[in-house]
Amino acid sequence: MYLWKYWRESRITFSIGLVLIGLLFWALHVHHVGPPLQGSRVRAQYNPDQIYMIVAHVLTLPLAFLALRYGSFGVGRDLNEGSGPFLFSRPRERTFFVWSDWCYGMAQLLLLVLAANLVVVFAAHRIAAESGPTFIADGSLSLLSIFCVNCVTGLLLTASMFSLTYFCSVLTRGRGVTLAVGVIVIYSIAGAVVNHYWPTITLPDLMLTGFSVSHSMIISFTDGLGRSIALRGALAMAFPIAAQLLLKQRDVD
Q: What is the pLDDT of residues 160-178, one digit of tens each?
A: 999 999 999 988 877 889 9
Summarize the confidence of residues 79-89 as an average pLDDT. Answer: 66
Q: What is the pLDDT of residues 220-245, one digit of tens each?
A: 778 888 888 999 999 999 999 999 99
Q: What is the pLDDT of residues 57-66, one digit of tens each?
A: 677 788 888 9
Q: Residue 94 pLDDT > 70, yes or no?
A: yes
Higher pLDDT, 204 or 238: 238
201 contacts 195 by C-beta, under 8 angstroms? yes
228 contacts 83 by C-beta, under 8 angstroms? no
Per-residue model confidence (pLDDT) at position 217? 64
Q: CA 51 to CA 220: how far, in whole Å?
A: 18
Q: What is the pLDDT of residues 106-143, one digit of tens each?
A: 999 999 999 988 887 777 666 666 655 555 555 566 76
Note if the pTM is more than 0.85: no
Average confidence score pLDDT of the chain: 78
Per-residue model confidence (pLDDT) at position 90? 66
Higher pLDDT, 144 or 89: 144
Q: What is the pLDDT of residues 6-47, one digit of tens each?
A: 888 889 999 999 998 888 888 777 765 443 434 444 444 445
Q: CA 64 to CA 157: how far, in whole Å?
A: 7
Closest CA to 209 of 194, 201, 219, 197: 219
Per-residue model confidence (pLDDT) at position 62? 84
Predicted confidence band of residue 1 (pLDDT cuts 50, 70, 90): low
What residue spans define the domains of the chain? 2-249
Q: What is the pLDDT of residues 96-114, one digit of tens each?
A: 888 988 999 999 999 999 9
Report the first-to-last Cα separation within the chain, whole angstroms. Answer: 23
